[in-house]
Structure 1
Amino acid sequence: MKKMLFMATAAVMAMVSCKKADSDMLDSARFSNDAAAHNKRLSFKNIGVLGYQSANKTGGRGMQPVPVANQYPIELIAELFPPTVNGQEIQASHVDANGSVAYVAYNQRLDGYVGGIEIVDVSNALNPSVVSQVLFPDRDISSVTYHNNRLYFVGACHMPNYPGFTTPAIFGYLDLTNNGTQFAGTGRTFNMPGRVATDLTIDGNRAYITSGNDGVFVTFDLTSETVVSSNGFADLRSVAVNNSTVALYSGDSKLRYFNKSNLNAIRTVDLPADWAEAKRTIAFHNDYLIVSAGKRGVQLFDATGTKTDEILLPTSLPNINPDEIVTNGVTNNNGYFAAANGAAGIYVADMTPVNNFNVIGRIDLNGSANFVKSVGNYIYVANGRGGIKIIRLVRGTIHGINCNTFPNYAGSSDLVVGASENLVHGQALGLQSLTVNGRLYHCGTVTVLDAVNVNNGGTLEVHGAFSQGQYPAGTGAPFTVRSGGHLMVEGHLKVYGDFVMESNSRLTFLGTNSRITIYGRYIRGNNITIIGTSYVDTYNKLDVTPDYNNVFTFLNSTTNNSSGVSATAVALDAFQRFEFNSLSNPSGAMQTMNIYEGSNLKLTVTFPADYIGRPYRYGKTYNQTVTRNFAAGDIFL
């Protein structure tokens, strides 16, 4: 049985219709918990450390790296592309999160009513997963909010499929199960005035809802499921609430403040004119209201409605249409702010002192940032048809290591430790590059966008989390431990590109819970030393277990035009590298060999005849025939 509420004009304060409907208005909804199928839309091809480009509050080009280190290191861990509904494209419109679970809303780019919601579990940053989904062939979803194991939503519906509804705008909820990670398949849908419901927020047992176009601001009691108040305002975009105040942002370029206890109007603040019906959001930080003001960037207002600060949009960016640079959304994560600026990516700031923005920098995301939400250690950026970019704030306690007593580093973002220096730093640190000639001890979290070099005589000791580079391998600078260099790790070392250990270098794993994750290639020289046994090699790149029992036999490939070609190989070390130490009938031409382990074909290798003596690492993970093209002198590990 289903109750339908129609929330009418400003004067209507109660339910005006109540009638039965089937399946709680979810007959057309398609629920799925097939994570394996959903995860095919997750992409990891652009993951890695993100850097900040210069930005300021007065605009500017913002294309150069920030010259000083920052205390907000970040990395992109995944991109989620939108699903389709009956062959129709939908786009990401909104995100909310509860802890390490994110809820992604979708609507249709053009006119129509097609959308959905997906639940993304990011508790394992190495392996995020789309664990549950609901798709709607007859409704858009504008905004979602998690509350008490329910996911509340607003949007619009195709009215012929909703008997008794008199307008397209809708508000409702979906029940959740399994600690909020799956849809239970039940819920309710209520009718609202207007063409589309645009935003909602929940405080206590009340939901505050806005409807655009012929707009209405509705306060809804979640316990009794009745309307507390209803007031009409044109083109409402967003609603926010703090301890004492409810704020509305409307398309008639006004901010409206209400007393939360009795909903009496407090004041109205005029803003510069903005585009009609465009996506905009607001957010409170204590008594200060942060506003996404379109072409006016980000505006900050105090409790009296006085503007205290602003962040203007960049005046010009190469190869970007200025019309596509506009502030669509803002988010506050306990004093850490982000603004979605369309084609200009996102701006990040904190508030020091409380009534002013301190701009950290701009993050270029190679797309249009239409919405941003930051909760906990994550930032979620809606990129329209590009889906959602999941960004991790690399901060907090790692493996129980407390680093709050160590001093922050606040120098150049290109940190160079001199040969005679012995530096000790801690907490969160974001760098452009790192060169260690002496000794650096860091306790906390570190990201390095470009090269890390631990040079001869240098020691880098990391306690916490350390992320470097970008994936895929070759797109950025490697992490290199030079001959005579020493890398020490307690915690998690994550290398998105290539990890290079030159001959006579050392790697030491401290403690009992350390981990190394190498997304790119592991490249090594001779006589390296790896100390420690109680650690995890996520992708088994180090391969330090000795195994000399495999016999490699090289036979002439039937696809090779040369005749009488043969070679032998020997295992060089515990890393199972091997080398061609003899080769008959060398002609200087490319040779193709099948590599067998016993009688099992493992790999097809193509190499030049002068590759004799060059090492190649046997890849245990190969289970099918593949082809590698080698150039003389190449080393593949």
Structure 2
Amino acid sequence: MRKSVYLFSFLALSLLIGCDNNDDNATDNQSINGITISTDQVSLNQRLDYTNSGVIAIENNSSTQKLAASNAPTSFPLVQIAEIKPPVDSNGKTLQASHVAVNGNYAYVSYIMRGDVYSGAIDVIDVSDPYKPKLVTSALIANTDIASLTYSNGNLIIGAAKDVDKDPLLTSPAIVINMELSSGLLTDKYKINYLESRVTTDVAANSSSYFAVTGDNGSLFKLNTSTKTTSAKTAVADLRSIALTSDKVVTLSGTKGVNVYNQSTLALQKSFTTSTDVSGAKRTMDVDGTKLLVSEGSNGLGIYDINSGSKLQTISVSAAGEDNVTNAVSVNDGYAFVANGALGLNVYQTGSQLSLLGALGIAGSSNYVKSSGDYIYVASGTGGLKIIKMEKPNTTFASCLSYGLYNQGRDLILNSNEVKSYQGATAINSAIVNSGAVLTHCGSIAIVNNLTLNSGGTFNMRGSFSQGKFQLANPTELIINNATLQVEGSVVIWGDLRLNSGAKINFIGNDSSITIYGKVIKNSNVTITGTYKDTENKLK
């Protein structure tokens, strides 16, 4: 059966099917009921790509010039730690990332097949090691697009569409899968709800229920977590997205706007219009207190009062274009991340009004974004998934409390014998510490390009420090020329470390670590002291 041009459209719940499998003959590649689960670490590791890893600059979208051009530093250090290449299905076709759900250190990524053929996958990524994400398992799901997913009480709730020609029980493609997880990992134990529509666009869950939305002549469904049967349903056309508050269910329709329901009864409490959207486009929402942030395609981002429906702010896309559309939004810890298609990913500080910090300097388009914990996950179609870490200060040093926030330019130069001390979160382009100068930083600091410590200079860092980019052809460098780097915390060097004559690295305390992804060039008379963990064994 050919897919509808409308990729995300849907309708009514009619049949509950249970698929339980207890195959004790598990292997690294299990194929059960059309699901092939791989835990083969050798093949999974081949999908990790560090080519574009390293410290990320934030660019000024409004003028299309980098913030560095105006010499303005930021207090938002970011590091791209890896990209996950999309999986290839059994027919050799590359899939496209569609959605991300997060629970603790696990990120679950869904995939669809673009075009008429149904094919999907789910990846599980472990980010417990902050700078070394691990693709721990991946499942290919034959004849099924996986459009959305969410974690709920040890289960994965999955919104999908299945080819009706491949399943005699299907009368229409839309399904919802409730999959049991084992210690956070995928299994072959699941229940399927068949829906009378073409695809389930989005899912959400609380402790006792899970919810699904479908489009075209679609519906909002509430399902009981224990019985996995429908407890309530209401019809709404062209549904794209769903979000939950503590007591509300919020839906987004491409034609009808936003509806707000009582979470227990699905009684309609409020409705208000948003921009009418093009058919078939994925859109998401997120909630920030009493604000509802809605991605509105070519009309940008709309921010509404969730109680009154009043529009509080409109953020337009910066340039017109077919692929310049706001696809998704995610709010996390005082920041809003907005995926704008070919225009990339914008970052805003939240507050009474969203305030633009800029656009992340990452390659490729941004079709979907999810931020949770210290991480930002950006789906880029067949470009796969980017994993970006926010470098947040996680330790307060009593001896640093008198230091101010960084207030110099994006390119820091300390002149001979100059002394500067800062605390907090700092992101700059480059730094040079000249003869006899002393730079002290407590908190988190990220430097996009080179750091040079010249003769007699000292850099004291307490907390976390990330520097450079992983570029095999033209790597960035951290250069120590007869100078001293003192480390109390964690250092990640994405490029090369050049230790010239007289260079010293002193590790303070018992918990310091250093990770070097590039080469170490070590000349004579180099001293390295203290207790430290060398994660890549580069300082030997």
Task: Report percent identity of matched pairs.
Answer: 32
Which residue type is aligned with residue 447 of structure 1? Answer: A
1:496 to 494, 497, 509: 494
| RMSD over aligned Cα atoms | 2.5
Correspondence list, 1:445-456, <5 A: 445-456=444-455
CA positional deviation for 1:403: 9.0
Label 1:195 to 1:515 Cα distance change in 2 as closer, same or farther (>3 A).
Answer: same
Please tell me whether residue 103 in structure 1 is matched to residue 102 in structure 2: no
Corresponding position: 1:226 with 2:233? no
Match of 1:41 among 47, 54, 70: 47
Deviation, 1:378, is 0.9
**2: CA distance, partners of 1:511 / 1:21:** 54
For the pair 1:262 / 2:265, whether they are aligned, the reply is: yes
The change in CA–CA distance for 1:225 and 1:41 in structure 2 (over 3 A counts) is: same
Shift of 1:410: 4.1
Structure 1: how far apart are the matches of 2:20 and 2:302? 46
Q: Does 1:356 align with 2:356?
A: no
> Aligned pair in 2 of structure 1 residues 94, 402: CA closer, same or farther (>3 Å)?
farther
Residue 167 of structure 2 is aligned to residue 162 of structure 1: yes
1:136-535 pair list within 5 angstroms: 136-178=141-183, 180=184, 182-252=185-255, 254-303=257-306, 304-315=308-319, 322-351=321-350, 354-397=351-394, 405=401, 407-437=404-434, 438-483=437-482, 485-532=483-530, 534-535=531-532
CA contact (8 A) 1:403 1:444 kept: no
- Tell whether the 8 Å contact from 1:344 to 1:364 is kept in structure 2 after alignment: no
Letter in structure 2 aligned against 1:116? A
Q: Distance in 1 between matches of 2:363 and 2:339?
A: 13
C-alpha distance in 2, partners of 1:73/1:190?
Answer: 43
User: RCO (CA 8 Å, sep 6+): is it higher in 1 or 2?
Assistant: 2
Aligned to 1:80: 84
| Alpha-carbon offset, residue 37 of structure 1 | 1.7
Which range moved further: 274-283 or 303-312?
303-312
**Is this contact kept in 1: 2:152–2:206, CA < 8 A?**
no
Partners of 1:26 and 1:172 in 2: CA distance = 15
Deviations 1:16-45 (A, max 9, x none): 546777859961111222222212111112
- 1:577-605 superposed Cα distances (whole Å, 9 cap, x missing partner): xxxxxxxxxxxxxxxxxxxxxxxxxxxxx
Q: Distance in 1 between matches of 2:66 and 2:94?
A: 33
Q: What is the TM-score of this pair, normalised by structure 1?
A: 0.76
Unaligned runs of 5+ in 1: 1-8, 317-321, 544-637
> Whole-Å Cα distance in 1 between the matches of residues 18 and 463 of structure 2?
57
How big is the shift at 1:125?
3.0
Shift of 1:245: 2.6
Matches within 5 A, 1:532-547: 532=530, 534-543=531-540
> 1:310·1:357 contact (CA, 8 Å) conserved in 2?
no
Q: CA separation in 2, counterparts of 1:17 and 1:276? A: 27
Q: Who is 1:595 aligned against?
A: none
Distance 1:70 1:163 in 2: 57
- The answer to whether the 8 A contact 1:193-1:216 is kept is no
Answer whether contact 1:255 1:269 (CA < 8 A) is retained.
Answer: yes
Are the equivalent residues in 1 in contact too, given 2:16–2:194 (CA < 8 A)?
Answer: no
State the shift of 1:376 in Å: 0.6
1:190 CA displacement = 0.6
Deviation at 1:110, TM superposition (A): 1.0
Task: Tell me the distance in 1 between the aligned counterparts of 2:249 and 2:400.
Answer: 36
Q: Distance in 2 between matches of 1:480 and 1:253?
A: 59
Tell me if the contact between 1:450 and 1:469 (Cα under 8 Å) persists in the aligned partners. Answer: yes
Cα distance in 2 between the residues matched to 1:481 and 1:136: 51
- 2:44–2:136 contact (8 Å) kept in structure 1: yes
Whether contact under 8 Å (1:193, 1:214) holds in the other structure is no
How far, CA to CA, are the matches of 1:516 and 1:31 in structure 2?
35
Displacement after TM superposition at 1:261 (Å): 4.0
1:361-394 residue CA offsets vs partner (Å, 9 max, x unmatched): 1013221111011111111111111111111112
Of 460-469 and 502-511, the range deviating more from structure 2? 502-511
Q: Which amino acid aligns with 2:150?
A: T
- Greater Rg over alpha carbons, structure: 1
| Counterparts in 2 of 1:421 and 1:148: CA distance versus 1, 3 Å | same
C-alpha change, 1:334 and 1:242, in structure 2 (3 Å) is farther
Cα distance in 2 for residues equivalent to 1:411 and 1:228: 59
Give, in whole Å, the separation in 2 of the partners of 1:153 and 1:462.
44
Structure 1 residue 332 displacement after superposition: 1.1
Residue aligned with 2:223, SS: strand
| Superposition deviation, residue 329 in structure 1 | 0.6
Deviations 1:529-577 (A, max 9, x none): 3232x1122333222xxxxxxxxxxxxxxxxxxxxxxxxxxxxxxxxxx
Give the whole-Å Cα distance in 2 for the aligned partners of 1:430 and 1:295. 31
Whole-angstrom distance in 1 between the partners of 2:99 and 2:508: 42
Q: How many residues are paired up?
A: 517
Task: Note closer, same or farther for the CA distance 1:175–1:403 as it changes in structure 2 (3 Å cut).
Answer: farther
